Amino acid sequence: MSESTRLKIVIKHLEALAIEMAQPGIDVVVRRESIDRYFAVNPEVMEQTIKPKQVLVGKCKAYWFVPKGHKGNRRLLYIHGGSWMSGSVKGWGAFVSRLAQATDCALLFIEYSLMPEHPFPAGLNDCLHAFDWLQSHGPEHNNQAHKTFLAGDSAGGNLALACLLALNNSNKQLPQAALAISPCTDFSGSGESMQTHAHQDPIIRPQAIALLPTVYLQNSEDLKTPLASPLFGELSGLPPIMLQTGEAEVLLDDSVRFAQKAKQAGVEVTLDTWPNMPHVFQGFAPFLSEANEAIEKIGKFFKAH
């Protein structure tokens, strides 16, 4: 099967999912079940190569994904996507298994509080607590981590960057490096690609992003408040950051503009964009060769730090 055919299959899968989730009055439980099928383009993609170990972090379920033979001293907190209202280990387990192996990290996957039951800043606070927790709690022993990292995709990419800002603002320990995959960095939706790429993006609708703040922020926050829209935060002093995004996304400019602003603030930034790739295409490994290559680049980034 050609690479172009594989990409077409992924695009059709995402388009069908978008139609499914756009049904009027869709129940939040049904929506969450749909999002857990985001990467389910074939059985191989959903195959977990690491068996997770469940733990409790505060009030949240979390899961350690530890590569075979790993000592657990390099730890990465992973924050899933799902528009702040969906996502779980069921849908993301296979993807983060591959990330744990590629990055040579014991990866902690956090099932943070979701809206609409738990609006901003509940989920962010869960993630901050989890990052603090993993510094002194490993997968086998409660010892101090040698190195800590932070990563997330989509809404989780937003939360990962917001965590960096919150930690920096509080003068708390920052991770050695961070990754944001296809993050939303601007709740005001002012990026040019929000309009210019609307016809290309098979899964995200600009009008849907415009509705999210009414639930996530409950109309009580400025759309540009930095912990919800990291693009408008003070970025100086942040650790090295990798931003990896598909070029077929309406959220492309959220990464591009954040990278530009971070570089101007003196942050070491790696902006890695991929032609024709859709939202969080990395999760379609090993079906898409580009996903395999992107995960390899992520691994090299974290190993370099």
Q: Is residue 177 within 8 Å of 149, Cβ to Cβ?
A: yes
Task: Quote the tokens at residue 54.
Answer: 């469940």
Task: Quote the tokens at residue 293.
Answer: 């290559």
Task: Quote the tokens at residue 298.
Answer: 């992520």
Beta bridge partners of 270: 242
User: Residue 67: exposed, middle, or buried by beta-carbon count in 10 A (0-12, 13-18, 19+)?
Assistant: middle
Per DSSP (E only), the strands in 100-252 are 106-110, 147-153, 177-181, 241-246
Q: Which residues are catalytic?
A: 154, 249, 279
Number of residues assigned to the chain: 305
Q: Which of 79, 100, 90 is nearest to 36 (CA)?
A: 90
Phi, psi of 295 (to 5 degrees): -65, -35
Q: Which of 91, 98, 56, 59 is nearest to 76 (CA)?
A: 98
Q: Which of 305, 234, 297 is nearest to 271 (CA)?
A: 297
Alpha helices for 58-190 (secondary structure H) = 89-103, 122-134, 155-169
